[in-house]
Amino acid sequence: MDCGIIIVILIIIIAILAAYIFLTKGAFFGNEENKETLAKAEDKALLVLDDISYKESEEDETLVLRVKNTSSKAFNNVTPVLIYYSDNIPVHEAWGARVSYFAPGDSRCIRFYDTIKDYDKVEIGMFDREDKATYTDLRDKIEYEVEKSDTPDENGEIKLTFKGENKYDKAVSADFEIAYYSEGKLIYEDQFSELIDANGSFDTYEYYRTKFYDGTKFPEGYTYEVTLVEAVEDIDIDENEIDIPEDTIEDKVESAIFKRLKELYGDDMASAKIYVDKTYTAEQAKNIEGVKDLNLGENDVAFEVSIHIEPAEGADIMRFTVPDGEYNEETGWVNEIHRLGVLKQKNDGKYEITNYGTGW
């Protein structure tokens, strides 16, 4: 494909993503070297106030962002998304859970999963969901109090007990946030949802935290704050055909390939563009020579991809041109890299790449 056509296509993709973001505004932030962009986001609809990241397992890192709605409009029925850029090209997306109602001037924490670390900058925005459901802020209909236990329970845990009432004549889904701070900085965050019957009461609890995920204790003098960040009428999802956005199989392949490339080349690779040319399900593979011998599982997918890699300054170009790949001295990119492989679902539901190479 002509380089000019590729550039035009990429420009169109970026334009579509920009137009698709709710209110066409987001907050830009990046790695440590360009954190100052946070200070320039005051005129955006979302302002990033704080961030923490933690690992619940060796492979998965979760990013928590405290954001403020600085616009004059509420976010209503949207999905938070992070769009990662490398060399001004979108290379990855990470999603958060649906936000039903986010009032102007409010701040709240949002968790993002399937995050990456290798990027130039990242944009946070709110995508309008495909269903047409709208929500009303019912936080004023929920009365509650929180009490911290004086002594640990039989498991050595301290409880935060939540008791309250729903003063609304329909069931309400309420989201509570427990944020922990040290010297004004967010260090840990818990959140949970409670479905409260119409005109009903609730009595539940969450554990009070004193340690990080790795078992180390919080700093001395830390504080915590409990907030009811969302309360909306509970809507029958099936009745309203609410569609929770999920990564497509192409997204999963691109993400897995990008991680694989970073494992292979490390800091020698500055950036990469990955295009999924073909995918084959287990059913489709039955009639394709070579692919049918892979014995794909029900959730496995065979793929063919085209890859373009930008080597880092000083890196050995030959690393990226073997066994295929053509170096373009004018652009500094290695193009025409083609790979085949299988995206296989493991027992824990996560994916890994197998049979990766230039042929089946």
**Digit-coded pLDDT (tens) for 298-346:** 888 888 999 999 888 888 999 999 888 999 888 888 989 999 888 887 7
Distance CA 76, CA 96 (A): 15
pTM of whole model > 0.75? no
Contact 61, 113 (CB under 8 A): no
Check residue 285 and give left, alpha or beta (phi > 0: left; psi -120 to 50: alpha): alpha
N-terminal to C-terminal alpha carbon distance within the chain? 24
pLDDT of res. 5? 57
DSSP 216: P
> Nearest CA to 38 among 123, 104, 109?
123
Residue of 202, 267, 273, 194 lying closest to 231 (CA atoms):
194
What confidence category does residue 360 fall into, taking pLDDT thresholds of 50, 70 and 90? low
Taking residues 79-105, report their average pLDDT: 89
How many C-beta neighbours within 10 Å does residue 245 have? 13
pLDDT tens track for 129-166: 877 789 999 999 999 999 999 998 887 889 999 999 99
Phi–psi pair at 266, nearest 5 degrees:
55, -135
- Per-residue pLDDT band for 28 (boundaries 50, 70, 90) equals very low
Using pLDDT thresholds of 50, 70 and 90, give the confidence band for residue 246: low
Q: How far is it, in rounded angstroms, from Cα 322 to Cα 299?
A: 31
For the chain, list the domains and their CATH numbers: 3-128 (2.60.40), 139-240 (2.60.40), 249-357 (3.10.450)
> Which residue type sits at 192?
F
Task: Please tell me which residue, 241 or 196, carries the higher pLDDT value.
Answer: 196
Closest CA to 279 of 248, 324, 246: 248
Cα–Cα distance for residue pair 353/109, rounded to 1 Å: 33
Name the nearest CA neighbour of 198 among 171, 234, 180, 173.
Answer: 171
Q: Do the beta carbons of residue 121 and residue 91 sit within 8 Å?
A: no
